[in-house]
Amino acid sequence: MRAVVQRVVAARVEVEGQVLGSIERGLLVYLGVAKGDGPSDTVWLADKVANLRIFEDKDGKMNLSLLEAGGGALVISQFTLLADARKGRRPSWSEAEEPVAAKSLYEAFVAELEGLGLVVAQGRFQAEMAVSYTNQGPVTILLDSQKTF
């Protein structure tokens, strides 16, 4: 399971002109589910996202997690995070999980974050979405439950 996590001042997602989810201060999380991912990947990644110390404390140092700093998470499904562009010019998505299984794990990830006490907004799985945000810092972190980077 892969995630691109961005610290944001605000973020929102629209589908067909309708706002489905929005947050103020918090994290925008793009989530990709790989073949072979399971419940343990969901738990590990949700814990990592909720506890990443990337918010500033009173001294201006990145010492606080989302749980400590407060704020929400906007989670967007994004199978393209599993793209393999090492060969040729057209990416391969052969490592991305099939939609039914991926949706189940995406929903489990959202539930894990909520279980940790976070307010979570989300887009619509498999929809064409317009995501708007203001990255603060900018801070962008890449995470992978298989720790490939």
What tens digit of pLDDT does each residue of 20-78 get? 999 999 999 999 999 999 999 999 999 999 999 999 999 999 999 999 999 999 999 99
Could you give the residue numbers annotated as active site?
Answer: 78-80
Enter the tokens of residue 139.
């801070």
- Whether the Cβ atoms of residue 61 and residue 42 lie closer than 8 Å to each other: no
- Whether the Cβ atoms of residue 26 and residue 74 lie closer than 8 Å to each other: yes
Q: Which domains does the chain have, with CATH numbers?
A: 2-133 (3.50.80.10)
Close Cβ partners of 130 (under 8 Å, ≥ 6 residues apart): 13, 14, 15
Dump pLDDT digits (tens) for 123-141. 999 999 999 999 999 999 9
CA 94 – CA 35 distance, rounded (Å):
9
Residue 148 has pLDDT above 80, yes or no: no
CA 79 – CA 96 distance, rounded (Å):
6
